[in-house]
Amino acid sequence: MPPFKNLVPGFEVMRFDKLIEATVISRPNRFLVMASADGKEIPVHIHDPGRLEELIYPGNHIKIRKATGKKTMYSVTFCSNDDIWTFNDSRFHSDIASLFLDPGCRREVKVGDSRLDFQLGNSYIEVKSATLVQDGKAMFPDAPTLRGKKHLETLMRLMDNGFESYVLFLIFNEKARCFEPNTMRDPEFSKAYSLAMDRGVKFRFLVFSVVNNAIVFSGEIQDCRNLMKMNKSYMKHSD
């Protein structure tokens, strides 16, 4: 049996209080953003290794929260993306994913030289996230990821040994209408994604919106190619 619960859209998965609005000044490295808040320049941790070129640039607005860290006292929570907000803190992805999984899942399961996010019985589940959306297409990754490719290869090997393999994408951008691997940014991951899908690895794509500083489940979308096939089939049978 698939290890997933079916939750109704509109379900609030997480809420953040006491957020501070700030403005991006620069991004000195992958995990550090210099921001301006209340007229002061402050260092802010960002727990998202992606390029985030559409989100972290001088002048863009972000929402940060107080957090205990060795080098920073604040952490990026939400980023402005035109007229919406996206969630950008991967520390919470496992907790959010667990809400959609049946009870009893083991976390951080070692498989050979890889580590996958969940195991439940005969099923292994890896969690990925995306905020990049172009023309309604959610895209992953936004930076090359050898780790992501390795996870897909591990899931395919597990299938060869009789296990069920799943990838659960958490898409924190309500404008997403379908999902497509980002071939321009990482052709090798995209090849592995297509091969995994053809081999029977199952993919699910959950979309979330940000409403009043809360992350809300908006619904589920399809792979763009599968969606096109479904639309063509519908049009063929409706003629």
137 within 8 A of 131, measured Cβ to Cβ: no
Nearest residue to 119 via CA among 143, 144, 137, 102: 102
Q: What 3-state DSSP class applies to 29?
A: strand
- Helix, strand, coil shares of the chain as percentages rounded to 5? 20, 45, 35
- Fold assignment, 16-87: OB fold (Dihydrolipoamide Acetyltransferase, E2P) (2.40.50)
pLDDT at residue 238, as a whole number: 54
Task: Write down the pLDDT at residue 2.
Answer: 73
Low-confidence ranges of the chain (pLDDT < 70): 1, 228-239
**Coil, helix or strand at residue 142:** coil
Question: Mutual orientation of helices 187-199 and 146-160 as an angle, nearest 10°?
Answer: 20
Nearest to 91 by CA among 52, 128, 31, 47: 47
Closest CA to 158 of 103, 118, 101: 118
Looking at residue 6, its pLDDT comes to 84
* pLDDT attached to residue 7: 85
- Structure tokens that stand for 36 in this block: 């301006």
Q: What is the pLDDT of residue 229?
A: 61
Phi, psi (rounded to 5 degrees) for 129: -135, 160
Left, alpha or beta for 45 (phi > 0: left; psi -120 to 50: alpha)?
Answer: beta
Count of C-beta atoms within a 10 Å radius of residue 68: 7
Q: What is the largest CA-CA distance in the chain?
A: 64
Q: Is-cis flag, bond preceding 43, omega within 30?
A: no
Q: Which residue ranges does the chain devote to CATH 3.40.1350.60?
A: 92-238
Say yes or no: domain 92-238 is CATH 3.40.50.300: no
Q: What is the pLDDT of residue 233?
A: 45
> Are 169 and 205 contacting, i.e. CB atoms less than 8 angstroms apart?
yes
